[in-house]
């Protein structure tokens, strides 16, 4: 049997599980490099998944700790989905995926690993990115270090947010 080394997983296995909400803790930490936050809006932020399904797997999270969409106000909902769109634009520029999985798991029964602070997953996909490794080896191969992807996504968000600031409004006519 061949062995596959994934030393970065040791951090997850050995780490003490933090008390409280990881999203609230990340939002309160000013070090976006450490927390893997790639963009901060007024009402939400975008953070990379530390244990991603694919390279570039990001999550859009409202700043307020809420578990249900009905608990968000109109401005929060608008920014949450606007930043979901920005995330796709950034990934298109930086990662050039061939498709996306975008969604929410609301509640533990729906598969939410963090069920008390809602978030939207944006997972870039490529033809052939699902192969025998996860099925036979229970291993997912991520081709780029998280910090390298963080740098590229952060730079991409800076460019997309700059473009959005100078673009005409997409509101009603």
Q: Which domains does the chain have, with CATH numbers?
A: 16-128+138-165 (3.30.428.10)
pLDDT above 70 coverage of the chain, percent:
76
Report, as an integer, the average pLDDT of 90-98: 93
Closest CA to 78 of 64, 90, 62, 94: 62
Q: Are 108 and 67 in contact (CB under 8 A)?
A: no
Q: How confident is the model at residue 5 (pLDDT cuts 50, 70, 90)?
A: low
User: Is 49 marked within a binding site?
Assistant: yes
User: Is 121 marked within a binding site?
Assistant: yes
119 classed as catalytic? yes
Q: Are 83 and 60 in contact (CB under 8 A)?
A: yes
- The chain-wide mean pLDDT, for the chain, equals 81
Of the two residues 138 and 155, the one the predictor is more confident about is: 155
Of the two residues 167 and 102, the one the predictor is more confident about is: 102
Report, as an integer, the average pLDDT of 68-81: 95
Query: Annotated catalytic residue: which of 57, 119, 145, 150?
Result: 119
């Amino acid at each position: 049997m061949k062995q596959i080394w994934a030393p970065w997983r040791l951090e997850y296995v050995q780490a003490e599980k933090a008390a409280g909400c990881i999203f609230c803790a990340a939002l309160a930490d000013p070090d976006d490099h450490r927390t893997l936050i790639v963009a901060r809006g007024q009402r939400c932020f975008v953070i990379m998944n530390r244990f991603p399904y694919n390279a570039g797997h990001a999550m859009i999270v409202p700043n307020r700790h809420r578990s249900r969409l009905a608990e968000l106000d109109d401005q929060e909902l608008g920014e949450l989905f606007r930043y979901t769109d920005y995330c796709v634009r950034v990934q298109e520029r930086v990662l050039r995926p061939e498709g996306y999985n975008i969604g929410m798991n609301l509640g533990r029964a729906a598969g939410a690993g963090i069920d008390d602070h809602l978030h939207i997953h944006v997972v870039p996909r490529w033809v052939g990115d699902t192969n025998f490794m996860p099925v036979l080896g229970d291993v997912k191969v991520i081709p780029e270090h998280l910090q390298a992807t963080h740098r590229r996504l952060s730079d991409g968000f800076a460019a997309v947010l700059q473009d959005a600031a100078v673009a005409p409004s997409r509101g009603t006519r």
